[in-house]
């Protein structure tokens, strides 16, 4: 499977990248960055730091520096000033490609159908669809982290809105209405504490003597000590692609509120549609895949 990773690293984006890069069951063609947890320059530098730490040659393409409308909000309170848990990983030697994200996505999709793992605001994907409308059919499936779909669950920016959809609701609505097959991991599953990193999971990670596990521990140890638990929202999107058997999902259509008090709210109509939203996770299997992916 040919895969593009669209990210706003971010600690959980970084964990997703470490698990994806070098995974033998997928062929990662590229990484595109988007403003979200941090600004675009820092998100791009962080993606380069992670590819370097993973010993990966995968190209990094800089993407949108702001949402389709409005301004970018950041989450350095959660992800640290450097966006990677204040781990201060070495400055990367490698540079981003000159091609911008939307064009890079079109070039990757030119020769083969492309699957996308999107774990930040969906600005790059929306810009790709708007700039290359005839290429939507070249996208096999999008596995994304975003939204919240169970009526009993609440957002993490406002009671209605999850961060990625709140940052760029227009882009989220555009992608969800595109007709492309989508698997969405919303907060209703990604906030499952059994799949988060707490001190006991961190201790297990420290016991794995690989470069990937060591980098993961460097990135996540400060957030875990500061917040006692760190949710791996973005890893759910990757595992939905790599390990679909550990999830249950529900079929629906989704629209996203773009203005007013409920800006960024994901509104699901269940029963029909091209979108599967994750509804349950086998937590034991999730933990096992996480530790094995770092080994
Ligand atoms: O709401 C969680 C999402 O917002 C995750 O993707 C996290 O990295 C932030 O981007
Ligand atoms: Ca993210």
Q: Confirm if 184 and 277 have CB atoms less than 8 A apart.
A: yes
Rounded CA-CA distance 37/9 in Å is 7
The catalytically annotated residue of 6, 8, 188, 234 is 8
CATH code that applies to domain 2-294: 3.90.245.10
Q: Which of 13, 74, 123, 188, when mutated, tests ligand 1's pocket best, judged by the most ligand atoms within 8 Å of its CB? A: 13
pTM: 0.97
Q: What is the pLDDT along the chain (295 residues), one digit of tens a residue?
A: 999 999 999 999 999 999 999 899 999 999 999 999 999 999 999 999 999 999 999 999 999 999 999 888 898 889 999 999 999 999 999 999 999 999 999 999 998 999 999 999 999 999 999 999 999 999 999 999 999 999 899 999 999 999 999 999 999 999 999 999 999 999 999 999 999 999 999 999 999 999 999 999 999 999 999 999 999 999 999 999 999 999 999 999 999 999 999 999 999 999 999 999 999 999 999 999 999 999 9
Kindly give the distance from the C-alpha atom of residue 9 to the centroid of ligand 2, in angstroms, as a whole number.
Answer: 6
pLDDT of residue 22: 87
Residue nearest atom 1 in ligand 1 by C-alpha distance: 163
- Residue 164 CA: which ligand 1 atom is closest? 4
Report the pocket of ligand 1 as residue ranges, CB < 6 Å: 8, 10, 12-13, 36-37, 75, 119-120, 145, 156, 162-164, 233-234
- Angstrom CA distances, 48 to 7, 94, 111, 155, 204, stand at 12, 7, 25, 30, 26
Q: What is the dihedral of CA 226, 7, 92, 196, to 10 degrees?
A: 30
Kindly give the distance from the C-alpha atom of residue 111 to the centroid of ligand 1, in angstroms, as a whole number.
Answer: 31
What are the domain boundaries of the chain?
2-294
Residues bordering ligand 2, an ion, CB closer than 5 Å? 8, 10, 13, 119-120, 234
pLDDT of residue 111: 87
Rounded CA-CA distance 83/17 in Å is 14
Note if 8 is an active site residue.
Answer: yes
Kindly give the distance from the C-alpha atom of residue 187 to the centroid of ligand 1, in angstroms, as a whole number.
Answer: 9
Kindly give the distance from the C-alpha atom of residue 285 to the centroid of ligand 1, in angstroms, as a whole number.
Answer: 22
Q: Confirm if 45 and 82 have CB atoms less than 8 A apart.
A: no
Helices (H), 112-245: 123-131, 163-167, 169-176, 187-190, 199-206, 211-227, 233-242
């Amino acid at each position: 499977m040919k895969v593009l990773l669209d990210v706003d690293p971010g600690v959980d984006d970084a964990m997703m990248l470490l698990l994806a890069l070098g995974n033998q069951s997928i062929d990662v063609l590229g990484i595109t960055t988007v403003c979200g947890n941090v600004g675009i320059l820092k998100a791009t530098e962080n993606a380069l730091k992670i590819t370097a730490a993973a010993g990966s040659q995968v190209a990094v393409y800089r993407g949108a520096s702001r949402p389709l409308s409005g301004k970018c909000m950041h989450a350095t309170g959660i992800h640290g000033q450097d966006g990677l848990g204040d781990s201060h990983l070495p400055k990367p030697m490698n540079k981003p490609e000159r091609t911008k994200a939307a064009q890079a996505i079109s070039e990757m999709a030119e020769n083969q159908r492309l699957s996308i793992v999107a774990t930040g605001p969906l600005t790059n994907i929306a810009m790709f669809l708007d700039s290359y409308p005839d290429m939507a059919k070249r996208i096999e499936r999008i596995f994304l982290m975003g939204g919240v779909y169970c009526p009993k669950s609440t957002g993490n920016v406002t009671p209605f809105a999850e961060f990625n959809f709140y940052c760029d609701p227009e882009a989220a609505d555009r992608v969800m209405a595109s007709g492309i097959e989508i698997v969405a991991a919303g907060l209703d599953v990604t906030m499952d504490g059994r799949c988060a990193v707490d001190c006991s999971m961190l201790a297990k990670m420290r016991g794995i003597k690989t470069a990937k596990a060591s980098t993961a521990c460097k990135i996540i140890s400060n957030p875990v000590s500061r917040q006692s638990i760190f949710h791996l929202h973005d890893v759910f999107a990757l595992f939905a692609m790599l390990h679909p058997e550990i999830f249950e999902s529900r079929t629906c259509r989704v629209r996203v509120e773009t203005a007013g008090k409920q800006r960024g709210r994901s509104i699901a109509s269940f029963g029909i549609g091209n979108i599967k939203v994750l509804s349950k996770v086998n937590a034991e299997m999730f933990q096992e895949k996480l530790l094995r992916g770092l080994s």
